[in-house]
Amino acid sequence: MARFFVSPDEIQSDFMVLTGDNAAHAKVLRLKCGEKVTVSDGSGRECVCTVSDVSPGQISLVVDTISDSKTEAAVQVSVFMAFAKGDKLEHVIQKATELGAYEIIAFPSARCVSRPDAKSLVKKVERWQKIAASAAEQSGRGRIPTVHTVDSYKEALSCAAKADTAILFYENEKATTLKMALQEKPYRSVSLLTGPEGGLEPSEVKEAMACGLKVCTLGSRILRCETAPLCALSAVMYDSGEF
């Protein structure tokens, strides 16, 4: 079933109209009267609707049912990823959205080679949010993960520490596994923090521990900076009973 995102105030209990990009998308899909579609407010509420009229630039819908989305993960996972070169963040945003991440936060750290300035960041975040929206649509999610940035590593740590379980992955940690960290106590929210291409500095790891983050290994193989967050996210979703 095709899925469209509208703003929460556009969700109505009886009739709705798709316009703009949604109408253009509906045209590409060649939607016809009588077909069923899902319309989501991007925050977890969604309607199943029947197409009642197709006009240029406007698709009319009759609302059949409204309910909470059934495709959102029970656990809220926040993915904290250091700024990385090339299109690695785009890649992680797309995949993390499919895998059910609640939000993705990009942050600067000591060894980041990529250091976008404030002006280019505004454009980047806009682009990243579009990637998340498109991946949410394709994967059938009821919520579009928010993508944002923080100005400092310190700020990333203090945001990450708010979760029930906050974890930093470090290649020099050999003893504490993700499984140990997750089994310590029940969790409804998890933060996963990973470093840039060159890794995190030992002083940054210490700083994270002081903020209450647990330092864990992702195994004996060195994962690229775009592989680590997705591996960890998959494992948390598995651990929390998603599949």
In sequence order, what are the beta bridge partners of 147?
104
Residues 9-29 as b or e (16 or more Cβ within 10 Å = b): eebeeeebbbeeebbebbeee
Count the residues of the shown chain that bind a second copy, applying the rule CB under 8 A: 35
| Alpha helix ranges (H) inside the chain | 20-28, 88-98, 118-139, 153-160, 178-183, 202-210, 228-239
What residues between 82 and 101 interact with a second copy by CB under 8 A? 95, 98-100
Task: Tell me how far, at minimum, the Cβ of 170 lies from a second copy, in Å.
Answer: 12
- Say whether residue 174 binds a second copy (CB under 8 A): no
* Residue pair 53/33 in contact by the 8 Å Cβ criterion: yes
Q: What angle do the packed helices 202-210 and 153-160 form, to 10 degrees?
A: 40
Task: Tell me how far, at minimum, the Cβ of 214 lies from a second copy, in Å.
Answer: 13
Q: Which of 139, 147, 132 is nearest to 3 (CA)?
A: 139
- Say whether residue 29 binds a second copy (CB under 8 A): no
Task: Tell me how far, at minimum, the Cβ of 45 lies from a second copy, in Å.
Answer: 16
- Say whether residue 141 binds a second copy (CB under 8 A): yes
Task: Tell me how far, at minimum, the Cβ of 237 lies from a second copy, in Å.
Answer: 6
Using the minimum distance from each CB to a second copy, give the nearer residue, 86 or 219: 219
- In the complex, the residues that contact a second copy under the rule CB under 8 A are 70-71, 73, 95, 98-100, 138-141, 177-179, 216-224, 227, 230-232, 234-235, 237-239, 241-243
